[in-house]
Homo-oligomer: A and B are copies of this chain.
Amino acid sequence: MKDDDKPLEFNNLDTLESYWKLQQLYRQDLWYGSPEAREMENLRIDSGGGLTYYYGAKLLSEKTLQTLEELAEEQQLIAKYRLLLSGDIMNTGENRMVLHHLLRGEPAGKPQQKIKEYRNFYLRELEKLETFCENIHRGKITGSTGKAFDTVVQIGIGGSDLGPRALYLALENLADQQGFRKMKAHFISNVDPDDAASVLQGVNPETTLFILVSKSGTTQETLVNRRIVLEHLQVNASSVDPKKHFLAVTSKSSPLASSEDILESFYIDDYIGGRYSSTSCVGGTVLSLAYGFDTFRKLLSGAAEADKKALEPRIQQNAALTDALTGIFERNILGYRSTALLPYSQALLRFPAHLQQLDMESNGKQVNRRGEPVSYPTGPVVFGEPGTNGQHSFYQLLHQGTDIIPLQFIGFKESQRVFPAASAGAESQKALLANLAAQIAAFTRGRPSKDGNKNFPGGRPAGLLLGKRLTPEALGALLAHYENKIMFQGFCWNINSFDQEGVQLGKVLAGDILAGKTDDSLLKSLSSVVFSE
């Protein structure tokens, strides 16, 4: 690892030699139009957790890949990842370390004492969580009327909602197939009161645990949803003592932490960003309650494996790095503005929504880590729905639209449920995989036709993450793959992927409106529109 010896530098993408080399290269040297010459089988990388990343349909030449590797070296991507792991202040905007990798595996190399201490803190919270879940599942802790808990409701928004919800849904079928489901889970997120009302209608308060999830303990949506739940209990379940039905996942300094109205608290700290908190107690509490702590542990081990593989400096042996760099090529050299996430797995139905946050909130930045404007595009728009559903929806534009949109496919060889060999279920799974393969062929190569309406230009680059089955380990590795990919892209762009100043102004203005501070004519005008009779 040569770049460990060099002093680390944080430079903008357009100051790199390799960047300008790529800008020159791409017009002469794409493999566009001839993907048939490639052996997809051999252009693959072990991504951890049983996942393999296939990049043969990315349509890049050997030379382009080599130059991307030069870019990785020149921009010191692996060294920066190591710096992050070592506890450096990588979240420059908020002056914080970035420690979510430490939630799921032992620190790499010889860690400093402070890193060991954070690791121990996270481990202690996990142990506390394991014991608590055992007590719930064995009926040692019951609801206030003596009944065993069978339902958990997570109250949180953004990172406290999207990731945990996506992971919960991803494992439902497997849990029911393999019998490891312990409780049912629901989620309340939106400040729209119809959200809480519809969840509350479907649960029995006597057997329900509510988890309040907010690092600061001051999130507007989460606090008002707590009040909605409390009022609901008061009216509809007066025999229930709320104190015995509420958990908190928060930081030690938050107002929630010291509350007497809470049965138990699990702690995170400022070094775990909201969107990176799925592998902390933010995701772990609801997942462990629903599926058992062991399931969560497996998810962490899959993530840890992917994290470790992301340390490999040779790009064609590091899936997250290859995915990141080809994404940079597509965004900054080819000029594509968005990218579609296409999981061929109904269980991943909300995974694109989580990755949308992870990617767009991390890398939707216009200034570098020193706060100076950058002069190149950063994070793209990310959207997606499960296949084959998407094929009957927005794929029309992906195949024949006027913009090229790079594609990120995800698939699994086996379904989560087990179906007998000749059954319709088995046939269905085969059709699912055939469609996955067919779409990649159609997107990359296309099919010319003299009838313009039937002409498929091809040239749409596609990556594929393929696993045997969507297990907790595979899910953890999948999550970590994208977290690390996004981190590497942030390093390429020299931005801070770990803060989110862009969400502040809206909060401030909403507060102004609610406080009646609408001297400002625009705010007054808008306020009068939405609040008019």
Contact = CB atoms under 8 A, between A and B. Distances in A.
B379 A401 contact: yes
A398 B437 CA distance: 34
A451 B338 CA distance: 28
A217 to B, nearest CB: 15
Interface string A380-400: 111101111101111111111
A505 interface: yes
A431 interface: yes
Contacts of A365: 396, 400-402
A445 interface: yes
Interface stretch (A73-81, A264-272, A276-284, A422-430): A422-430
A191 B432 contact: yes
Interface stretch (A239-247, A255-263, A301-309, A525-533): A525-533
A196 B436 CA distance: 19
A353 B87 CA distance: 40
- Please tell me how many copies of the chain the complex holds: 2
Interface string A25-41: 00000000001101111
Interface stretch (A114-122, A286-294, A312-320, A513-521): A513-521
A225 interface: yes
A194 B415 contact: yes
Interface stretch (A4-12, A104-112, A138-146, A453-461): A453-461
Interface in A138-165: 157-159, 161-162
Given A395-B506, A403-B377, A528 B41 contact: yes
A345 B402 contact: no
Interface stretch (A61-69, A203-211, A366-374, A475-483): A366-374
27 contacts: A36-B522, A158-B392, A189-B389, A191-B388, A191-B431, A192-B429, A194-B345, A194-B347, A221-B431, A224-B424, A224-B428, A227-B424, A228-B424, A337-B403, A356-B394, A357-B393, A360-B397, A364-B396, A364-B399, A367-B400, A396-B502, A400-B502, A438-B510, A438-B523, A439-B506, A447-B505, A466-B529
A388 B40 contact: no
B386 A530 contact: no
Contacts of A161: 389, 392
Contacts of A353: 385, 393
Given A197-B417, A428-B193, A401 B364 contact: yes
Contacts of A196: 425, 428
Interface in A333-366: 337-338, 344-347, 353, 356-357, 360-361, 363-366
A376 interface: yes
A522 B439 CA distance: 12
A285 interface: no
Given A425-B193, A500-B396, A503-B399, A431 B198 contact: no
A472 interface: no
A173 interface: yes
Interface residues of A, number: 153
A512 B434 CA distance: 9
A419 B453 contact: no
Given A405-B381, A424-B224, A502-B456, A361 B396 contact: yes
A367 B397 contact: no
* Chief secondary structure at chain A's binding surface: helix
A441 interface: yes
A452 B378 CA distance: 15
A389 B447 contact: no
Contacts of A398: 364, 502
A17 interface: no
A157 to B, nearest CB: 5
Interface string A179-209: 0000000000111111111100100000000
A509 interface: yes
Given A161-B389, A337-B337, A424-B224, A506 B194 contact: no
A513 B438 contact: yes
Given A176-B198, A424-B224, A503-B396, A530 B433 contact: yes
Contacts of A363: 397
Interface in A90-111: 93
Contact of A190 (B201, B346, B510): B346
A427 B193 CA distance: 9
A251 interface: no
A240 to B, nearest CB: 17
Contacts of A456: 502, 505
